[in-house]
Amino acid sequence: MLPVPEFFTLVVGRGEGKKKLTAFDSALLDAGVGNMNLLRVSSVLPPRCSFQPSLKMPFGSLLPIAYGSITSDVPGETISASIGVGIPEDPDSFGMIFEFSGFCSGSEAAMKVEEMVREAFEMRSLALREVKVKAIDHVIGECGTVFAGCPLFFPIR
């Protein structure tokens, strides 16, 4: 069995490139996770997982992360991504992570992801203590990406 992560943070980034994949890579670098091996996970925040304001991991680390992103090559188009985490009232319970990406402002993306977090807690009859949200938007130059993620990680020993 894999260990359960003890920490989480929220990251966002935007990037431009000549190709869609290099724009995505640029957004990962901007978010601070571009030099790690991302392992995409779904939407459950482990019990007693505590928020850290920043992520410090060695290059090449395997990093579980829930994320949303969107890429466009339409100059002038606005794209956004947001990540939201619902923290339960009971520290022994689990939380929920949701992501959103689309063609809207960052503030609209933040509202949408917060609504999803609140709905997920209601569906599970969980008491919600706090919602943390981070969002970003970007107007496309040539080819751009926005990225919003919730890395789940362990103490560096």
CA atoms within 13 A on the CB side of 103: 7
Q: Which domain covers residue 99, as residue numbers? A: 8-153
> Does some domain include residue 1?
no
Residue 110 has pLDDT above 70, yes or no: yes
Catalytic residue check, 37 = yes
So what's the pLDDT on residue 157?
A: 67
Give how many domains the chain has, as a whole number.
Answer: 1
Catalytic residue check, 99 = yes
Catalytic residue check, 43 = yes
Return the CATH number at 104: 3.50.20.10
- 32 neighbors 11 (Cβ within 8 angstroms): yes
Q: What is the model's pTM?
A: 0.96
Contacts of 24 (CB under 8 A, 6+ apart): 15, 17, 69, 71, 145, 147
Catalytic residue check, 42 = yes
Q: Which of 6, 16, 43, 93 is catalytic?
A: 43
Q: What is the pLDDT of residues 25-79, one digit of tens each?
A: 999 999 999 999 999 999 999 999 999 999 989 999 999 999 999 999 999 999 9
> Does some domain include residue 35?
yes
- Supply 95's token pair: 């939380």
